[in-house]
Homo-oligomer: A and B are copies of this chain.
Amino acid sequence: MELWFSEFHAPDVKHSIKVKRHLYSETSDYQQIDIFETFEFGRVLALDGNVMLTERDEFIYDEMITHVPMSVHPNIRDILIIGVGDGGVVGQLTRYKTVERIDLVEMDPLVLDACRKYLPENSSQLNDSRVNIYFDNALRFIRRCKEEYDLIIVDSPDPFGPSEGFFTREFYGICYNALKSDGIMVNQQGSPFYKHDAEAMKRSHKRIASTFPVSRVYQAHIPTYAAGYWLFGFASKKYHPIDDLNVEKWLALHLTTQYYTTKLHIGSFYLPAFLERMLEEVEQSC
């Protein structure tokens, strides 16, 4: 028997991964959750049929969404993570001894349960004493927070369906208010390649750029995401992602990484001409 998991990266483009075993399949109050054991990518978590992470390439996402802000802000102690509670992002953040508190807000307890059971290595750092897990609606949760966090990481699924609320102007405004006066917000910003993704990315960038004084986009190669080409948003009240990068300080931490380097950090903000033009167009209309 051959079993393949396919995801449409665009209406006429399909990415398929050969499956060893379908380990888990449940419908929660919010979404369809599946975990596959695959030949090439190890275990794969899919929500509503979209790959959220694979054991083989999730290091790229996790490292890029965490080490970029952590190497720029001089003193991150209080962190809020909104989104998929698989633990990969928490795993990177708990490597920093100076971090005092990581609040993780996940809407769906079933995702966390499934990850704890089927991606135990991935979710092991969720037990770190600095981590607080809240099963709540993220908008409601953050609305109560005022100048509380140094860093907010919006680690949400794509801006379609149940996660659409994480890509609105209102949401970014609430995040702004929840950040201290020198806080940083980093979010997954989708892909610029296929038209549907690019439109969503532009909308979301426009909203962030009109909310934060500093708003830049950076990129990474993530093979299992659409077009293998993924973007992150870096929004900040004060710090610039390149000018304020503290290379010596980060290197002195001696953190071994598989993807992130301080040089790649800089390079990830040097974008293709077509994407620069997309972003400029959006920024001019802010």
What is the interface of chain A, defined by CB distance below 8 A to chain B? Answer: 4, 6, 10-18, 38-41, 57, 60, 193-194, 219, 221, 223, 227-229, 257-261, 263-264, 266-274, 276
Residues in chain B near residue A57, CB distance under 8 A: 193
Oligomeric state, in copies: 2
Q: Which residue of B lies closest to A18 (CB)?
A: B12
How far apart sit A18 and B266, CA to CA, in the bound complex (Å)? 37
Q: Are the CB atoms of B223 and A221 closer together than 8 Å?
A: no
Q: Are the CB atoms of B268 and A223 closer together than 8 Å?
A: no
Summarize A's interface: helix, strand, loop or mixed: mixed
How far apart sit A228 and B261, CA to CA, in the bound complex (Å)? 21
Q: Are the CB atoms of A39 and B12 closer together than 8 Å?
A: yes
A57 CB, nearest partner CB in chain B, Å: 8
How far apart sit A60 and B41, CA to CA, in the bound complex (Å)? 26
Q: Which of A11, A223, A228, A269 gathers most chain B CB within 10 Å?
A: A228
Residues in chain B near residue A6, CB distance under 8 A: 16
Q: Are the CB atoms of A261 and B270 closer together than 8 Å?
A: yes
Q: Are the CB atoms of B223 and A228 closer together than 8 Å?
A: yes
- A229 CB contact (under 8 Å) in B10, B194, B223, B272: B223
A262 CB, nearest partner CB in chain B, Å: 9
Q: Are the CB atoms of A270 and B266 closer together than 8 Å?
A: yes
Q: Are the CB atoms of A258 and B229 closer together than 8 Å?
A: no
A-B contact pairs, 28 of them (CB 8 A): A4-B14, A6-B16, A12-B17, A12-B38, A13-B17, A14-B14, A14-B16, A14-B18, A15-B16, A40-B194, A60-B272, A193-B221, A221-B227, A223-B228, A227-B228, A228-B229, A257-B273, A259-B272, A259-B274, A260-B272, A261-B271, A261-B272, A263-B270, A264-B271, A264-B272, A266-B267, A267-B269, A267-B270
